[in-house]
Structure 1
């Protein structure tokens, strides 16, 4: 019997990191259920980058994955690969050769576009992997939203249908009432894992910083640092945000006033309705109500006077870097030679 291969391709900001951590941390228990999450990594970004760069081919990867599955002591009937960056690519034909060896199913989760844009802005500032989006204001960010082609869900799904067939697409809607047990459980249901008895509670990771910390980070050159140094600095910033600034709960990402929110959603309304009709037999894709018109917005603001800025952000950050050992006498550079 042909094995199934689930390709989880995003989108971002739909609990992908939590899903990946759950799958990675439960590598052995999943195998007892016949599910193989290969390569011992949380996220298969390197593998996907190799395929899309042409350095590797999906057909060859499929053979390798099949051998790995064959070598497991358990009877493996399902494999799962996960990388949300796949959805950012305009042409996914490089993945089609997987269908020669596996019964391929594509899992894609959709978040309402207004909420997705707000969350995506916070993440781009926090991680700063894209210099074009690392330091822009929210208004400047919104002006670039046409570049986020993968949240034009109807167009994106049409491409998936052309490659894999509509019958092989599993579309999930990232909303509380449509994922009543949470996104990790919804994902497990999508891959056929419906009994989670004995599994630990699903994790929640990759939360956003507060709005004021995001605005502070926007002015910092994290994108100019190497990833290890960037991670150390970001960790310290998150600690200051939580422990010093007191932002301990889930942070509000609401940035859009009601009129602009409605205008943005109108741009996607026709495509969303098309998806709702084709896959959910209804007219409305997203069911959760919009935030109240008078709901307070998160404030992307930092102190304008230097003394308050130093006291609230800079000094605590330096203290945290020392406390973490990032700034330490043990890291003292070798003395420079006298060049006189």
Structure 2
């Protein structure tokens, strides 16, 4: 039976880098018997395949595409993680001739939560970090962010526990072996000469990642999301903010950013109780699925912004002026602002 390796992310576990590598080296991977299809692709991953599952729109042409090929497949989209049991059951029933193997990257929650919160803000969110964090912390056993076993249990129910592969993302990042570990997950030998050449080529290229913004920029965008909520769709504010930041009032930006800096507090993360709890569960329940597990001994410093900076009346005036400037780019076609 052919395999369908379903790389489900989650977000902030190197999915963009993996997808870019697979796309850049599609022909090399295909020679090894695995197809990373351009079909269903948006940017680097097969995000349109996720849409077909959620909308129940796999048709005869889609089924024939998978059935008529003699190779295995890799489908990668971090958005797959948001689907539910019925969506994956639909996949299994629609492609019964494929053995689905789920690839899940496990990253410790205290390392991941802040990055995920940034993604929420990038896409139009207005919730401050501490409210977001405590929303999950209040019910850790029910938070899929803090309890990876919740999603893994669902995958096990649909596809069987033996068809789950877990990458310890923190261990991969520590040893700079994320791509090699992903190749292992899809049963390819990363020491193969052609794959070694592909890996070496990837390391000399500029890294393609979903880059994080500075704390000051995230907080500024969060406030602008709120002010411009009636004019901008998800992600629009962040996009135009980054594109036109040099055209905005630098005096206002500097004032806002300096006020934000006054309320940033550094914290050590990596060994929170939620991390210890999740690690214990993962080792006890999914030790055979983990392909590169290492006990976490890493701590790192993260900068968390308090919301007190918004109590400054001059900050509000600056934000209103910045929002007015930004709204001109949002409401007028971008080409009219090109120099």
1:248 is aligned to none
* Equivalent runs, 1:169-180 vs 2, <5 Å: 169-176=164-171, 180=175
- Matched residues, number: 302
For structure 1, list consecutive stretches of 5 or more residues without a partner in the other structure. Answer: 71-75, 129-133, 246-253, 332-340
1:81 is aligned to 75
Instruction: Provide the TM-score with structure 2 as the length reference.
Output: 0.71
2:211 is aligned to 207
* Equivalent runs, 1:213-228 vs 2, <5 Å: 213-221=217-225, 225-226=232-233
Instruction: Provide the TM-score with structure 1 as the length reference.
Output: 0.71
Aligned partners of 2:115, 2:298: CA distance in 1, in Å? 17
1:192 correspondence with 2:198: no
Tell me the alpha carbon deviations over residues 228-258 of structure 1, each in whole angstroms, 9 at most, x when there is no partner.
Answer: 8557415427889xxx98xxxxxxxx97845
Residue pair 1:160, 1:166 contacting (<8 A) in 2 also: yes
Aligned partners of 2:110, 2:45: CA distance in 1, in Å? 26
Aligned partners of 1:138, 1:8: CA distance in 2, in Å? 28
Change (3 A) 1:220 1:206: same
SS at match of 2:202: coil
2:5 is aligned to 6
Shift of 1:330: 7.2
Shift of 1:29: 3.3
Shift of 1:172: 0.6
Aligned partners of 1:173, 1:309: CA distance in 2, in Å? 46
Aligned partners of 1:114, 1:90: CA distance in 2, in Å? 24
Residue pair 2:265, 2:304 contacting (<8 A) in 1 also: yes
Aligned partners of 1:300, 1:36: CA distance in 2, in Å? 47
Q: 1:287 aligns with which of 292, 296, 300?
A: 296
Tell me the alpha carbon deviations over residues 125-165 of structure 1, each in whole angstroms, 9 at most, x when there is no partner.
Answer: 1233xxxxx11111110132257425422232222122212
Q: 2:282 aligns with which of 272, 287, 303?
A: 272
2:177 is aligned to 182
Residue pair 1:8, 1:83 contacting (<8 A) in 2 also: yes
Aligned partners of 1:255, 1:78: CA distance in 2, in Å? 48
Residue pair 2:123, 2:234 contacting (<8 A) in 1 also: no
* Equivalent runs, 1:119-268 vs 2, <5 Å: 119-128=115-124, 134-145=125-136, 146=139, 148-149=143-144, 151-176=146-171, 180-193=175-188, 194=190, 195=192, 196-199=195-198, 200-201=201-202, 203-221=207-225, 225-226=232-233, 229-230=236-237, 232-236=239-243, 257=267, 262-265=272-275, 268=278
1:34 correspondence with 2:42: no
Residue pair 2:165, 2:291 contacting (<8 A) in 1 also: no
Residue pair 1:87, 1:150 contacting (<8 A) in 2 also: no
Shift of 1:22: 2.0
1:112 correspondence with 2:122: no
Aligned partners of 2:315, 2:266: CA distance in 1, in Å? 30
Aligned partners of 2:279, 2:73: CA distance in 1, in Å? 35
For structure 2, list consecutive stretches of 5 or more residues without a partner in the other structure. Answer: 248-252, 255-263
